[in-house]
Amino acid sequence: MFCPKCGRGEQETDSYCRSCGEFLTDISSRPSLMNRVLGISNPEKQLNLTLMIDLATAIVSGFLLFSMMGYFDAVEDKTGVPTSRMVYVLYVFLGFVSVWQLFSFTIGTTFKKKLSASRRAHLQAKSQSAQALPPAVDEDVIPITITEQTTRQLDKVPK
């Protein structure tokens, strides 16, 4: 596989590029919903989008819950008509949605920390492997052997 960002070849799919660090996915094998609809193939970008959606949903459902509670309590105080049981079911539902989305957001942030730690470890391992071999020193070169000298002299003899 080739990296779409830097063009380096012979890479493994579902891993990071050894040259630039871009996440590589094989779009033709199993595209996800986010990849097909939004064109997001990087797991970090997918996670960021999911976290934003989770947080926005939690905030909106919490806001709706407290707004409805205030409205229906005020109507009951003014008119004296009791609130319908269906409204209480809606309160419970919105409360569960808020809690569920906040729970999903906290799990997602934990996963994001693990994902970025994994990427840092991958890039650190890449930089360590690039520094694994010391530069060549000319003093450590082995002199030409007798066999190599003889072979070179034989190559010079006309046939």
Continuous segment of H or E residues that includes residue 119? helix 85-130
Cβ atoms < 10 Å from Cβ of 47:
17
Asked if residue 84 has pLDDT above 70, the reply is: yes
What average pLDDT is seen over the chain? Answer: 80
**Percent share of the chain, pLDDT over 90:** 35
Question: Confidence band (pLDDT; 50, 70, 90) for 89?
Answer: very high
Question: Confidence band (pLDDT; 50, 70, 90) for 42?
Answer: confident
Six token digits for residue 57 = 């949903």
Question: Confidence band (pLDDT; 50, 70, 90) for 16?
Answer: confident
- Cβ atoms of 60 and 34 within 8 Å: the answer is no
Bigger pLDDT: 14 vs 115: 115
Contacts 24+ apart (CB under 8 A), 17-26: 18/126, 21/119, 21/122, 21/123, 26/1
User: For residue 18, what pLDDT is reported?
Assistant: 76
Q: What is the pLDDT of residues 105-141, one digit of tens each?
A: 999 999 888 888 877 877 777 777 666 666 666 666 6
Bigger pLDDT: 129 vs 83: 83
Phi, psi torsion values for 55, nearest 5 degrees = -65, -45
pTM recorded for the entire structure: 0.58
Q: For the chain, what are the domain ranges? A: 1-41, 42-128
User: For residue 100, what pLDDT is reported?
Assistant: 95
Asked if residue 20 has pLDDT above 60, the reply is: yes
> Of 34-38, 135-139, 152-156, which one has max mean pLDDT?
152-156
Q: Rounded to an integer, what distance in angstroms lies between the CA atom of residue 94 and that of residue 54?
A: 14
Asked if residue 74 has pLDDT above 70, the reply is: yes
